[in-house]
Amino acid sequence: MSRIGNKPISIPKGVEVRVDGSTVAVKGPLGQLVDSCPRELEIEATESEIIVRRPSDDKKLKALHGLTASKIANMVDGVTKGYTKELEIVGVGYRAAKQGKTLVLNMGFSRPVNITPAEGVEIEVP
């Protein structure tokens, strides 16, 4: 029994989900994501939730059931919240600063490490 696969995925307001055969498209305030899912699984989208079902208890389908539900939940999170990664700097003398768009890290090397983010990536230094 897949606990992740059996759990319905809630759809927040402002997010539009379209299921066309084995293709799932999720559109929200931060963009649009499209993914193809295994044809064996049944994906049903209502106004407020998405339900993923498997037709049998085959070992392969059990694995795909939880994986597909998790991928769809991540797609919904991606178009609403986006992706964030937090870096925690622990130690004496280590520093991070932002100069323009560049992240400058002083990590004990002979010179600072400069990281220029890719287009569409935002860096915040509190």
Task: Answer for the pair 100, 94: CB distance below 8 angstroms, yes or no.
Answer: no
- Nearest 5 degrees, angle CA 99-CA 102-CA 105? 85
- Gap between the Cα atoms of 50 and 77, Å rounded: 13
pTM assigned to the model: 0.76
Query: What are the pLDDT digits (tens) for 74-119?
Result: 999 999 998 888 989 998 989 999 999 999 999 989 999 999 999 9
Confidence check: pLDDT of 48 > 80: yes
- Gap between the Cα atoms of 5 and 69, Å rounded: 5
Of 31, 34, 27, 32, give the one whose Cα is nearest residue 13: 27
Query: What are the pLDDT digits (tens) for 49-72?
Result: 999 999 999 999 998 999 999 999
Position 2 scores a pLDDT of 59
